[in-house]
Chains A and B, each alone.
Chain A
């Protein structure tokens, strides 16, 4: 694996780490199986791409992507809380609706950003090669997000949100307004996914309506790989686990891409990726069993 390929995998892994954190908030903190992310990721990309191509500052575009993602999360939460639609189904409804909405926002299936100024543009001029700049900038953004989310989850409001996910009846008995926490939690989760979409569009030069397919799988893989490797006992470690898990997932794909040398075909990519991730999940358990024995 070349250095550029390695750093490329790290960079894309860091972008998807934000998806991992969003999925962690929904699935683990709120106990809300949320498939909205397959729509909110390309939504973030679409919003950022359209705003950037209309000449507006890319940071404003990122902020708009966060708000758009948050709105998508609110719609899912609304369908679930207000009308009692099963959380999975509510999120699927939002997800499929977003496909059409993303086409509307972009006006076509694909918007190019290759020649546009992005949040990365100011950093390209600092003397570092592009393949160093991109992962570094994304790393800084991810670190800030981890810090903010960890702080949030340790605040009184965040603790009440965690209680909502663990035991909603108990939480309500303690005077926690669980509905409010589900709305806010889903907004934050999908807002982060929207930000990931915005960063993906800017680091890769395009927003495409198909970018969202399988986002939930990548997010879940990040969360579970992180949990398996870190066995987190604190929120910060769990969040870092999501980040590391996401990067490892991308490195697995990168290894799979290099597997042609051992007689595998290009079409085996997804299979090889799945096997590598499975190994990553199984290995720590084997070690754990040996330690117990």
Chain B
């Protein structure tokens, strides 16, 4: 034991000045799943690109709560006790647990949809305190721009969503703000369960020029029902998530969570270089994947412009 202590002391004495650049980044996620894991890898690679390399001058700690918020709270306490240079929580519950556990250690959250609603920051533009990060709210403006590009004559957009899903309700509110200035009129159709989706889609026939399906769990689960109505009536149908495109939507722009990780790493690097988290505005995630489905477009009586197909990350055959 004494030798260990002596060795530790010696290391500390000799190493401290030489390793002044050494940093510890502690990352935690509520659960392991493809998107969140990709975000984590993006953070690590982004730090590496900025010169913070694992095994050299970066200690990269990663913990997952395996889906349990109580464990997330414990991980938060462990990180605060370990006093790393920066804590990076991925997902809302992990971020809330970390933010509740420390007022001093810099926190850069990521993959949080509504950081203000989650009380992580009081003002996204000027967070103040020790917290900032990246929000992954759906890029609705990009979605509207895509609709305009593919179907330039469209004036009225029909939106099918479940009014019982809080995420969808806030998306629709945001969409209403953006639609007017973008030259669109919105028409809502509510489906509170998957069995109602077809009926909701039918109610839009003759009323709208295109149909847009946001990232709504209920409607996306029954996407095929809406696609069928759209095909029968030649109404172009767009989606808010890329997974819906192979299922029959014309096109969608969705996040690439690895890119979100890279953007998070940019903010982490800024903080490591000495910027105060409180003075870095919360960043809206970018770096999205465009997925198009020309066959589905044809069935709905639309041709996707070559320019859109050309810049698509994936073209569904």
Contacts and interface: CB of A to CB of B under 8 A. Distances in A.
B96 A114 contact: yes
Interface string A11-39: 11000100000000000000000000000
Contacts of A253: 71, 74
B100 A205 contact: yes
B299 to A, nearest CB: 36
A38 to B, nearest CB: 12
B63 A269 contact: yes
Interface residues on B, range: 35 or more
A219 to B, nearest CB: 12
A2 interface: yes
B61 A260 contact: yes
A107 B167 CA distance: 11
A8 B119 CA distance: 21
A116 to B, nearest CB: 8
A108 interface: yes
B70 A266 contact: no
Nearest to A211: B69
- The interface residues of chain B, by DSSP majority, are classed as helix
Interface in B65-117: 66-71, 73-78, 80-83, 92-93, 96-97, 99-101, 117
A12 B78 CA distance: 12
Interface in A159-194: none
Interface string A96-110: 000000000001111
B120 interface: yes
Given A204-B97, A266-B64, A112 B77 contact: no
The interface size bin for chain A is 35 or more
B22 to A, nearest CB: 17
A270 B63 CA distance: 12
Given A206-B93, A257-B75, A200 B82 contact: no
**Most chain B CB neighbours (cut-off 10 Å) among A5, A6, A9, A267:** A5
Nearest to B118: A112
Given A107-B166, A114-B119, A211-B70, A2 B96 contact: no
Contact of B82 (A2, A206, A267, A270): A2
Contacts of B73: 8, 12, 200, 203-204
Q: Name, among B78, B80, B82, B167, the residue most crowded by chain A CB atoms within 10 Å (CB to CB).
A: B78
A112 B117 contact: yes
Nearest to B30: A210
Interface in A71-107: 107
A266 B67 CA distance: 13
A208 interface: yes
Interface in A253-279: 253-254, 257-258, 260, 266-267, 269-270
A115 B121 CA distance: 10
A218 B93 CA distance: 19
B97 A205 contact: yes
Contacts of B233: none
Contacts of B63: 257, 260, 266, 269
A112 B92 CA distance: 10
Interface string B38-73: 000000000000000000000001111011111101
B71 A108 contact: no
A3 B78 CA distance: 9
B221 to A, nearest CB: 17
Interface in A195-228: 200, 203-206, 208, 210-211, 213-214, 218
Given A2-B82, A200-B70, 18 more contacts: A4-B77, A5-B78, A7-B77, A12-B77, A16-B70, A108-B166, A112-B96, A112-B119, A113-B119, A204-B69, A204-B73, A204-B96, A205-B96, A208-B93, A211-B69, A250-B74, A253-B71, A266-B64
Interface of B: 32, 61-64, 66-71, 73-78, 80-83, 92-93, 96-97, 99-101, 117-120, 122, 166-167
14 contacts: A1-B81, A2-B78, A2-B83, A114-B96, A131-B77, A200-B73, A204-B73, A205-B119, A208-B69, A211-B70, A218-B70, A257-B75, A266-B62, A269-B71
